[in-house]
């Protein structure tokens, strides 16, 4: 019944199955539950994209729930930032909720658990409790307070709530099984005493529920049908379900739907870190200017850098959803932003590393305003005028006194087109006393119909506006900066991740506003930074253009890779390839079978009898493999191998087989 074979991910399969088993579609409900202890980053967009995306595809509500059970780390600033980021991505939540909304309900349920003998107050120190928990390979042991009476537990727990005890003196634990192989089931903590001001509940509470006790119950209260989280919560599922069963028993009538937790692999990006704690460190240590530094993988950083909501959503879609650990290459993200901006960003001319060009046959006092197309990808984008005059800037990189004919740019005696203007020819250069070229003297030709290889961008010096341009490189020089066991991620920080310089722009950009995006032709996509002021513009480089010219130069790495590939291919022995072919053989259509047969025959030339013989013993069932062996054997015999008993036996056995192909092959010997 589903639409045209658009393949589903494993979560969608689960939902489809639940729907098929009678879950009503209007019961579907999802949630995104960030802890307001930091800014959202690109990793979160995967979780956001999954839950909100599911909401969109099924027309189901998605709650935004702040998991605010640890007042020591959480702040209103983060709540605001998170809301802003999700809204910016273009997602709409059904309700804005807080785990702290449920503190009373959770407390009431905890009281019931105590009354049922399912929870108890432990009064040992955290060190002792940790010791009793055992290790993953060693069972835990029961503590001395495990069998306190219900009355005593009740009294103590109410005292905890009333603020009668100092922090750390008592905790409430669920009474499950200290010997469970899953450590989370070894009497997990439900409440701790904490005298901290909560950003929403203030000083109302001095006991705060732990994640495990809060999360599933919040899902349940909101009647979330599918609670999606990342893989590291898989071990928590057993506990999630244990708690769920108890509260379900208490409130089944009012809250009929028990939620389901399912886990997916989180997103990892090469050359970046994804831990809020570590990102906070970068901010606090001043490595970056803030959570929204354009080098940060935070949503606000990406936004400031010039990434669009659409590009990020595209990225998340392309990344997919599964359960295995993954590292996504940043090039995919870059592809997505280029693809988006290519369609939407107007083209302009800017020179970032200037060298002066004097057009000697152009009158000194003359200027012309030439027409330039804003965006050839967008017919509605229109045209603008750019000024041309005798003295212009081009990029230093675009000129060489001498160069081979693979260099399409300007060289002495060579011609090149100035984008939107004339064709110029370089005649001579002016050098300073160090021998550096300071000026290039050219003549121009009004005939623009001529074919020339290169087209350069440029700006008229007299008309250009100068601005600050910030170019970024990756923040870390290591592919996986936080995976090294000995070195801290801080040691891999790229000291040259920010490069600031002055750029010269065509005057049409004089009035730009913060956030506007452009393609600086031949250079990349740039946007106007938040720091920008009308008289002191600041641009960020979002991403460069694909540059197949730059790639031509150095590539030692590729060679290495190729070598490795070739080696591993060579190492794969002919016999194992034949075996592989055999596995599939009987399954192939006739045409392909012939081809594979030819391949096997070819490969057999480099197979020795000693390699082949062990395969004679292949199980009778594996007809394909035996056929492949038979084909191979035929070649060996043809090439002078002498028959022996083992061979004869193998052939005879094959002749009696029920597989016709095998019989045919055997009888041909």
**419 scored as a contact of RNA (CB under 7 A):** yes
User: Which residue stretch of 70-78, 242-250, 289-297, 469-477 sits at the interface with RNA (rule: CB under 7 A)?
Assistant: 70-78
**384 scored as a contact of RNA (CB under 7 A):** no
**318 scored as a contact of RNA (CB under 7 A):** yes
Q: For the chain, how many helices (H) and strands (E)?
A: 19, 27
Taking the least distance from each CB to RNA, the nearer of 4 and 433 is 4
**573 scored as a contact of RNA (CB under 7 A):** no
Tell which phi-psi region holds residue 533, choosing left (phi > 0), alpha (psi between -120 and 50) or beta.
beta
Q: Write the CB contacts of 289 (distance below 8 Å, at least 6 apart in sequence).
A: none
**234 scored as a contact of RNA (CB under 7 A):** yes
Sole binder of RNA in the list 135, 380, 496, 645 (CB under 7 A): 135
**325 scored as a contact of RNA (CB under 7 A):** yes
User: Which residue stretch of 51-59, 189-197, 290-298, 474-482 sits at the interface with RNA (rule: CB under 7 A)?
Assistant: 189-197
Round to whole Å and give the CA distance between 22 and 404: 71
**322 scored as a contact of RNA (CB under 7 A):** yes
**420 scored as a contact of RNA (CB under 7 A):** yes
User: Which residue stretch of 299-307, 383-391, 471-479, 514-522 sits at the interface with RNA (rule: CB under 7 A)?
Assistant: 514-522
Smallest distance from the beta carbon of 73 to RNA, in angstroms? 6
Q: Write the CB contacts of 6 (distance below 8 Å, at least 6 apart in sequence).
A: none
Question: Distance between the two ends of the chain, CA-based, in angstroms?
Answer: 53
Give the x/- contact pattern for RNA in 329-348, rule: CB under 7 A: x-xx-xx--xx--x----x-
Number of residues this chain uses to bind RNA (CB under 7 A): 113
Query: How many other CB atoms are there within 10 angstroms of residue 53's CB atom?
Result: 20
- Hey, which residues between 386 and 405 contact RNA (CB under 7 A)? none
**Strands, E assignment, 176-218:** 189-193, 207-209
Taking the least distance from each CB to RNA, the nearer of 403 and 514 is 403
**328 scored as a contact of RNA (CB under 7 A):** yes
**Contact between 99 and 129 (Cβ < 8 Å):** no
- Hey, which residues between 149 and 168 contact RNA (CB under 7 A)? 167-168
**9 scored as a contact of RNA (CB under 7 A):** yes
* Catalytic site includes residue 276: yes
**126 scored as a contact of RNA (CB under 7 A):** yes
- Hey, which residues between 586 and 615 contact RNA (CB under 7 A)? 586-589, 592
Query: How many other CB atoms are there within 10 angstroms of residue 341's CB atom?
Result: 25
- Hey, which residues between 199 and 218 contact RNA (CB under 7 A)? 208, 210-211, 215
Smallest distance from the beta carbon of 252 to RNA, in angstroms? 26
Q: Burial letters for 4-32: b for 16+ Cβ neighbours within 10 Å, e otherwise?
A: eeeeeeebbeebeebbeeebeeeebbbbb
Smallest distance from the beta carbon of 423 to RNA, in angstroms? 9
User: Which residue stretch of 49-57, 81-89, 435-443, 565-573 sits at the interface with RNA (rule: CB under 7 A)?
Assistant: 565-573
* Catalytic site includes residue 439: no
Sole binder of RNA in the list 10, 195, 369, 383 (CB under 7 A): 10
**183 scored as a contact of RNA (CB under 7 A):** yes
Taking the least distance from each CB to RNA, the nearer of 83 and 637 is 83
- Hey, which residues between 443 and 482 contact RNA (CB under 7 A)? 448, 454-455, 457
Which one from 105, 118, 200, 266 is the annotated catalytic residue? Answer: 266
**574 scored as a contact of RNA (CB under 7 A):** no
Round to whole Å and give the CA distance between 581 and 613: 17
**Contact between 615 and 579 (Cβ < 8 Å):** yes
Phi, psi values for residue 374, rounded to 5°: -75, -40
**Contact between 419 and 456 (Cβ < 8 Å):** yes
**306 scored as a contact of RNA (CB under 7 A):** no
Which is it for strands 391-395 and 399-400: parallel, antiparallel or unpaired?
unpaired
* Catalytic site includes residue 266: yes
Give the x/- contact pattern for RNA in 242-281, rule: CB under 7 A: -----------------------x----------------
**233 scored as a contact of RNA (CB under 7 A):** yes
Smallest distance from the beta carbon of 531 to RNA, in angstroms? 26
Sole binder of RNA in the list 87, 231, 249, 430 (CB under 7 A): 231
Closest CA to 628 of 567, 562, 575: 575
Tell which phi-psi region holds residue 422, choosing left (phi > 0), alpha (psi between -120 and 50) or beta.
beta
3-state class (DSSP) for residue 154: helix
**538 scored as a contact of RNA (CB under 7 A):** no
Round to whole Å and give the CA distance between 530 and 515: 7
**490 scored as a contact of RNA (CB under 7 A):** no
Which is it for strands 459-460 and 455-456: parallel, antiparallel or unpaired?
unpaired
Sole binder of RNA in the list 407, 412, 461, 669 (CB under 7 A): 407
Taking the least distance from each CB to RNA, the nearer of 408 and 609 is 408
**Contact between 634 and 669 (Cβ < 8 Å):** yes
**Contact between 190 and 217 (Cβ < 8 Å):** no
**Contact between 84 and 54 (Cβ < 8 Å):** no
**489 scored as a contact of RNA (CB under 7 A):** no
Radius of gyration of the chain (CA): 35
Which one from 65, 276, 304, 522 is the annotated catalytic residue? Answer: 276
- Hey, which residues between 25 and 64 contact RNA (CB under 7 A)? 35
- Hey, which residues between 78 and 117 contact RNA (CB under 7 A)? none
Sole binder of RNA in the list 22, 59, 136, 363 (CB under 7 A): 136
**Contact between 632 and 613 (Cβ < 8 Å):** no
H helices present in 222-284, as ranges: 236-251, 276-284
Sole binder of RNA in the list 377, 378, 401, 516 (CB under 7 A): 377
**Contact between 170 and 193 (Cβ < 8 Å):** yes
Round to whole Å and give the CA distance between 376 and 106: 60
H helices present in 323-451, as ranges: 330-344
Which one from 35, 334, 401, 611 is the annotated catalytic residue? Answer: 35
Residues known to be catalytic:
35, 266, 276
């Amino acid at each position: 019944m589903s639409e045209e074979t658009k393949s589903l991910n494993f979560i969608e399969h689960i939902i489809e199955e639940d729907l098929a088993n009678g879950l009503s579609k209007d019961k579907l409900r999802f949630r995104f539950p960030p802890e307001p202890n930091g800014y959202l980053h690109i990793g979160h967009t995967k979780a956001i994209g999954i839950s909100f995306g599911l909401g969109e595809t099924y027309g189901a509500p998605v709650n935004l729930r702040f998991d605010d059970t640890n007042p020591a780390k959480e702040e209103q600033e983060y709540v605001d930032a998170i809301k802003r980021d999700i809204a910016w991505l273009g997602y709409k939540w059904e309700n804005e909720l807080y785990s702290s909304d449920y503190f009373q309900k959770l407390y009431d349920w905890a009281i019931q658990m105590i009354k049922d003998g399912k929870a108890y107050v432990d009064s040992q120190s955290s060190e002792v409790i940790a010791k009793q928990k055992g290790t993953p390979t060693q069972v835990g042991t029961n503590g001395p307070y495990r069998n306190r009476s219900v009355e005593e537990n009740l009294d103590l727990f109410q005292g905890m709530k009333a603020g009668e005890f100092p922090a750390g003196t008592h905790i409430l634990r669920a009474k499950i099984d200290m010997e469970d192989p899953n450590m989370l089931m070894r009497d997990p903590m439900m409440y701790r005493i904490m005298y901290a001001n909560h950003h929403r509940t203030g000083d109302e509470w001095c006991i705060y529920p732990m994640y495990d006790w809060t999360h599933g119950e919040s899902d349940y209260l909101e009647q979330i049908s599918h609670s999606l989280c990342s893989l590291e919560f898989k071990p928590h599922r057993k506990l999630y379900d244990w708690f769920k069963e108890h509260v379900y028993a208490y409130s089944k009538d009012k809250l009929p739907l028990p939620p389901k937790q399912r886990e997916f692999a989180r997103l990892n990006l090469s050359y970046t870190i994804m831990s809020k704690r570590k990102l906070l460190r970068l901010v606090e240590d001043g490595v970056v200017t803030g959570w929204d530094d354009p080098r940060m993988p935070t949503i606000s950083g990406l936004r400031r850098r010039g990434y669009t909501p659409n590009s990020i959503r595209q990225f998340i879609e392309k990344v997919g959803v599964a359960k295995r650990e993954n590292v996504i290459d940043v090039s995919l993200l870059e592809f997505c932003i280029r693809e988006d901006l290519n369609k939407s960003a107007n083209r302009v001319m800017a020179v970032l590393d200037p060298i002066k060009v004097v057009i000697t046959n152009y009158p000194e006092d003359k200027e012309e305003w030439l027409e330039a197309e804003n965006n050839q990808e967008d017919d509605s984008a229109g045209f603008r005028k750019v000024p041309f005059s005798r003295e212009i800037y081009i990029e230093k990189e675009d000129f060489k006194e001498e160069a081979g004919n693979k260099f399409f740019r300007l060289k002495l005696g060579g011609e090149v087109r100035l984008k939107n203007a004339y064709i110029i020819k370089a005649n001579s250069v002016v050098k300073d006393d160090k021998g550096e070229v300071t000026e290039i003297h050219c003549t121009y030709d009004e005939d623009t119909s001529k074919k020339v290889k290169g087209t350069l961008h440029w700006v008229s010096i007299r008309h250009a506006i100068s601005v600050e341009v910030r170019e970024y490189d990756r923040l870390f020089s290591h592919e996986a900066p936080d995976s090294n066991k000995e070195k801290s991620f801080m040691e891999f920080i790229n000291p040259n991740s920010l490069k600031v310089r002055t750029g010269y722009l065509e005057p049409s950009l004089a009035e730009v506003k913060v956030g506007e995006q452009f393609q600086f032709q031949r250079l990349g996509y740039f946007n106007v930074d938040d720091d920008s002021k009308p008289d002191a513009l600041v641009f960020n480089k979002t991403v460069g253009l694909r540059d197949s010219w730059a790639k031509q130069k150095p590539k030692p790495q590729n060679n290495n890779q190729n070598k490795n590939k070739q080696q591993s291919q060579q190492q794969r022995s002919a016999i194992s390839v034949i075996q592989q072919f055999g596995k599939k053989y009987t399954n192939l259509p006739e045409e392909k079978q012939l081809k594979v047969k030819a391949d096997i025959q070819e490969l057999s030339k480099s197979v020795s009898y000693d390699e082949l013989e062990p395969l004679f013993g292949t199980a009778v069932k594996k007809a394909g493999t035996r056929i492949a062996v038979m084909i191979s054997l035929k070649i060996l015999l043809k090439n002078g191998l002498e028959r022996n008993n083992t061979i004869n036996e193998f052939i005879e056995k094959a002749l009696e087989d029920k597989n016709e192909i095998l019989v045919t092959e055997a009888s041909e010997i």
